[in-house]
């Protein structure tokens, strides 16, 4: 746990935690609003957005790709809404039509264009590359105070931290309206709230979190963190404040345990190489959800703590 | 090239892929319809992602037993087992906890897929080269499809179709009205499980062709497209099968006709094209039909209002109304009514008056409820009744 930890594990671990928490926060509201699969849809459609941005700019650079992914997310939301209204189709099916089509278009574009020279492929988009976000200049704990070394932190770290601040800020700022609109949308409308705009803002915030996390850690973590920590937290409490606290704790825990198990677990059981950290973090979040679903005090449909 | 591909002249492998894909498309379109009508379309997403760990475990077991791990039947069995586990987890979560179905879908999908990715990296570390086939399960790879693979797909597709044929009636009933089906004594949860089992079978069979991420599209898009064309469940089922087969066949043919056209995505895009076509041009439910209906309604409304305005000597400013009236030869270019225009206007005003009388008569409540400002009174009343109303109105009076 010395200098090697700082170089190899500190930044990916922090990035993983930030990404997990940034996704889990809006996930709480999406879960309660029965829009949990929005995260799934967004992370699928980010692929064509990123590919188009790459084809337009011809380079792997961050901002165009983030914009492309965000643009694709907006296009997807508009398409889902249009198909739902024009065709009078239930939202789940409309979502299924849109995200599979856009994902297929993304894969096709990727195959058609010559991206073999750069690191852009479907597997990367799915699994991310958390392990490779190492901090070469971080030679020890002392480097945290060394401005020169700090300048070479992987850009994903400050970006993910900023995303987390934005997401947390949105939720803190709109706490009361979000809470009211989530639990009683018609009441929120009667007191003059623009619930439609609020819902859209929530989806956009989720998209920002998803796209930023997608870039750093891949889509699996995004989908898992949108759903598993909030769902596990839902089993623990009936109060929204506590639910959010639990979900943050669960997200952090999944990120830490998942990362450590992926990096060191195989070594413990005598295998040579590490396994996918993204996949392991998602798996751990599932284990946490399973435990919460079996033993959580508020797991039942009625919601009251069992035995009370 | 494309023509060759469409008529199966592209060689043995392409022909095999096209026929296999078409069978798969038919099976998935038909199965997906029940899922769609049951409003559980996205369950297929969870099922398909949950296949990944099974494929990997089967591969690991095969390798541990000394094989090379490429046996398609064994890999598909593994995927079926883990998809089944995923389904059980999902059902358990929705039944025994407070989670809604969408959250359960997302949880199963992400966790199983994440675990599958972990296993994939385990396989990668075992030795390069041997895992080459597994990446193909993500997005499908038909390039190296063998005759035995095609047989597996054809057999699976046929089995699914046969099961659907046997159970279509109870499945339709459960899809439309589970409460009624339960009241009739049908084992709803078992039928639901059967439905999911069929979805699982289609997913597993389709892994090789379109891959686990895109098989969802074949289960969702054809039924949604078919729903535009008809209101009858049995027809939706058949049409979804046809559309699915068509999309898969066209997609496979197109992808065989040129390099760098991966089969799975092309098939999905073809089904989306069929969907978009249906959304636009389907009679009754299509967008074009709705636009035309709206336009016709708008014209009738403008016509009616224009005639009433003419009858009461009001000037018409609305350009659409004027255009419609003059096209029908009812007004001159300067907006003054022609003779036939005057006659039609008088009739319109008289009809309005007739409706007034009718709506005041409580004995005629049922007929009066049909009044919407556009309906011809002749479609509601007999000539005798109209004559009776006219007697009440009396003869035309002098305007003053």
- B154's enclosing H/E stretch is helix B147-176
CB contact under 8 A, B118 and A83: no
Residues 6+ apart with CB under 8 A from A297: A235, A236, A237, A305, A306
Contact list in A for residue B115 (CB cut-off 8 A) is 279, 282-283, 286
pLDDT on residue A308: 42
Backbone angles phi, psi at A43, to 5 degrees: -70, -25
Query: pLDDT of B151-183, one tens digit each?
Result: 888 888 888 889 988 988 889 888 888 899 999
Query: pLDDT of B131-145, one tens digit each?
Result: 556 777 777 776 667
Q: Considering Cα of A25, then A30, then A33, then A36, what sign does the dihedral take?
A: negative
Which residue does chain A place closest to B49, by CA atoms? Answer: A220
pLDDT on residue A307: 45
For the segment B347-376, the average pLDDT, to the nearest whole number, is: 84
List A residues 14-53 in contact with B (Cβ-Cβ < 8 A): 31, 34-37, 39-40, 44
3-state secondary structure of A10: helix
Cα separation, B380 vs B373, whole angstroms = 13
CA B353 to chain centroid, in Å, comes to: 46
- Does residue B220 surpass a pLDDT of 80? yes
Which residue does chain A place closest to B114, by CA atoms? Answer: A279
Cα separation, A99 vs A44, whole angstroms = 6
Give me the residue from B115, B220, B275 closest to A279, CB to CB: B115
Instruction: For chain B, say whether A266 makes contact (Cβ under 8 Å).
Output: yes
Which residue does chain B place closest to A303, by CA atoms? Answer: B98
CB contact under 8 A, B110 and A40: yes
Which of B103, B128, B289 would best serve as a mutation to test chain A binding (most A beta carbons within 10 A)?
A: B103
Q: Which ranges in chain A belong to alpha helices (H)?
A: 3-5, 11-32, 38-57, 62-87, 91-112, 122-127, 147-150, 156-173, 175-183, 185-190, 195-217, 219-234, 240-268, 277-295
ipTM (interface predicted TM): 0.89
CA A206 to chain centroid, in Å, comes to: 8
The shortest C-alpha distance from A147 to chain B (Å) reads 36
Give me the residue from A83, A93, A276 closest to B121, CB to CB: A276
C-alpha dihedral (A243, A247, A248, A249), degrees to nearest 10? 100
- Does residue B342 surpass a pLDDT of 70? yes
What is the DSSP-derived secondary structure letter of residue B373?
S
Give me the residue from B40, B102, B116 closest to A34, CB to CB: B102
CB contact under 8 A, A285 and B110: yes
Instruction: For chain A, say whether B135 makes contact (Cβ under 8 Å).
Output: yes
Instruction: For chain B, say whether A220 makes contact (Cβ under 8 Å).
Output: yes
CB contact under 8 A, B39 and A90: yes
- Nearest alpha-carbon partner for A286 in B85, B366, B373, B227: B85
CB contact under 8 A, B110 and A220: yes
CB contact under 8 A, A227 and B268: no
Which of A38, A227, A232, A304 would best serve as a mutation to test chain B binding (most B beta carbons within 10 A)?
A: A227
Residues 6+ apart with CB under 8 A from B152: B72, B73, B76, B205, B208
Contact list in A for residue B138 (CB cut-off 8 A) is 122-123, 126
Q: In this structure, are residues B300 and B249 in contact, taking their beta carbons and an 8 Å threshold? A: no
Radius of gyration from C-alpha coordinates of chain B: 31
What is the DSSP code string of B205-265?
HHHHHHHHHHHHHHHHHHHHHHHTT-S-HHHHHHHHHHHHHHHHHHHHHHHHHSTT--HHH
- Does residue B234 surpass a pLDDT of 50? yes
CB contact under 8 A, B110 and A224: yes
Domains of chain A: 3-133+156-293 (1.10.3470.10)
Return the number of CB contacts < 8 Å for A and B: 207
Instruction: For chain B, say whether A68 makes contact (Cβ under 8 Å).
Output: no
Q: In this structure, are residues B107 and A231 in contact, taking their beta carbons and an 8 Å threshold? A: yes
Contact list in A for residue B279 (CB cut-off 8 A) is 83, 86-87
Domains of chain B: 2-281 (1.10.3470.10), 288-393 (no CATH)
Cα separation, B74 vs B53, whole angstroms = 13
Lowest mean pLDDT among A65-79, A104-118, B226-240, B339-353: A104-118
The shortest C-alpha distance from A20 to chain B (Å) reads 13
Contact list in B for residue A40 (CB cut-off 8 A) is 45, 106, 109-110
pTM of the model: 0.85
- Nearest alpha-carbon partner for A131 in A50, A69, A218, A51: A218
The shortest C-alpha distance from A150 to chain B (Å) reads 31
> Does B103 or A38 have the greater pLDDT score?
B103
Residue by residue, pLDDT tens for chain A (308 residues) are 566 777 778 888 888 999 999 999 999 999 998 888 888 888 888 888 888 888 888 776 777 877 888 888 888 988 988 998 888 888 889 999 999 999 999 888 887 776 555 556 666 666 677 777 777 776 777 677 777 777 777 777 888 899 999 999 999 999 999 999 988 888 999 998 888 888 888 888 888 888 888 777 888 888 899 999 999 999 999 899 999 999 999 999 999 999 888 888 777 776 667 788 888 999 999 999 999 999 988 888 765 555 44
Instruction: For chain B, say whether A104 makes contact (Cβ under 8 Å).
Output: yes
């Amino acid at each position: 746990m010395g200098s090697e930890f700082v170089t190899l594990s500190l930044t990916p671990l922090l990035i993983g935690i930030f990404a997990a928490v940034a996704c889990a926060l809006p996930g709480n509201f999406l879960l309660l609003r029965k829009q949990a699969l929005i995260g799934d849809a967004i992370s699928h459609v980010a692929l064509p957005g990123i590919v188009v941005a790459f084809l337009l700019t011809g380079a792997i650079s961050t901002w165009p790709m983030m914009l492309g992914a965000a643009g694709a997310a907006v296009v997807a939301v508009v398409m889902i809404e249009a198909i739902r209204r024009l065709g009078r189709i239930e939202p789940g099916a409309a979502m299924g039509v849109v995200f599979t089509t856009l994902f297929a278009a993304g894969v096709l574009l990727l195959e058609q264009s010559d991206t073999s020279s750069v690191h852009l492929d479907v597997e990367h988009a799915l699994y991310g590359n958390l392990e490779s976000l190492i901090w070469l200049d971080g030679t020890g704990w002392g480097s945290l105070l060394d401005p020169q070394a700090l300048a070479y932190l992987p850009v994903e770290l400050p970006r993910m931290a900023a995303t987390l601040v934005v997401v947390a800020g949105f939720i803190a700022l709109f706490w009361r309206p979000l809470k009211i609109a989530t639990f009683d949308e018609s009441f929120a409308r009667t007191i003059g709230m623009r619930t439609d705009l609020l819902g859209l803002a929530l989806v956009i915030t989720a998209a920002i979190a998803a796209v930023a996390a997608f870039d750093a850690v891949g889509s699996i973590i995004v989908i898992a963190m949108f759903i598993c920590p909030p769902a596990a937290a839902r089993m623990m409490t009936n109060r929204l404040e506590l639910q959010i606290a639990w979900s943050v704790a669960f997200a952090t825990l999944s990120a830490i345990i998942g990362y450590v198990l992926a990096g060191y677990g195989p070594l413990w059981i005598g295998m040579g190489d590490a396994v996918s950290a993204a996949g392991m973090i998602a798996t751990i979040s599932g284990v946490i959800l399973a435990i919460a679903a079996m033993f959580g005090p508020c797991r039942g449909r009625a919601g009251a703590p069992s035995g009370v | 090239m494309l023509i060759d591909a469409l008529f199966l002249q592209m060689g043995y492998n392409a022909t095999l892929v096209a026929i296999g894909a078409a069978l798969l498309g038919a099976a998935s379109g038909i199965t997906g319809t029940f899922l769609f009508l049951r409003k559980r379309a996205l369950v297929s997403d969870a099922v398909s992602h949950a296949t990944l760990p099974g494929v990997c475990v089967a591969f690991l077991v095969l390798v541990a037993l000394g094989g090379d791990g490429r046996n398609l039947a064994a890999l598909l069995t593994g995927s079926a087992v883990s998809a089944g586990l995923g389904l059980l987890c999902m059902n358990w979560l929705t039944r025994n906890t407070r989670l809604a179905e969408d959250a359960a879908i997302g949880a199963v999908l992400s966790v199983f897929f994440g675990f599958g990715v972990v296993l994939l990296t385990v396989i990668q570390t075992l030795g390069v080269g041997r895992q080459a086939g597994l990446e193909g399960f993500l997005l499908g790879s038909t390039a190296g499809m063998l005759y035995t693979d095609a047989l597996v797909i054809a057999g699976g597709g046929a089995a699914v179709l046969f099961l659907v044929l046997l159970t279509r009636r109870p499945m339709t009933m459960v899809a439309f009205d589970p409460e009624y089906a339960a009241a009739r004594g049908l084992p709803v949860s078992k039928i639901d499980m059967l439905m999911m089992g069929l979805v699982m079978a289609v997913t597993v069979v389709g892994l090789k062709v379109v891959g686990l991420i895109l098989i969802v599209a074949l289960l969702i898009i054809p039924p949604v497209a078919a729903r535009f064309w008809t209101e009858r469940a049995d027809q939706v089922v058949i049409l979804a099968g046809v559309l699915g087969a068509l999309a898969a066949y066209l997609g496979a043919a197109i992808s065989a006709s040129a390099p760098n056209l991966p089969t799975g995505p092309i098939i999905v895009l073809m089904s989306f094209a069929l969907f978009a076509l249906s959304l636009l041009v389907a009679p009754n439910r299509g967008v074009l039909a709705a636009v035309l209906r709206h336009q016709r309604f708008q014209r009738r409304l403008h016509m009616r209002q224009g005639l009433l305005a003419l009858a009461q000597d009001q000037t018409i400013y609305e350009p659409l109304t004027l255009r419609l009236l003059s096209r029908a030869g009812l007004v001159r270019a300067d907006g003054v009514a022609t003779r036939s225009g005057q006659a039609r206007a008088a009739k319109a005003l008289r009809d309005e008056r007739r409706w007034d009388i009718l709506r005041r008569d409580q004995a005629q409540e049922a007929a009066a409820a049909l009044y919407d400002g556009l309906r011809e009174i002749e479609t509601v009343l007999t000539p005798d009744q109209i004559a009776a109303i006219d007697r009440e109105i009396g003869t035309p009076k002098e305007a003053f």
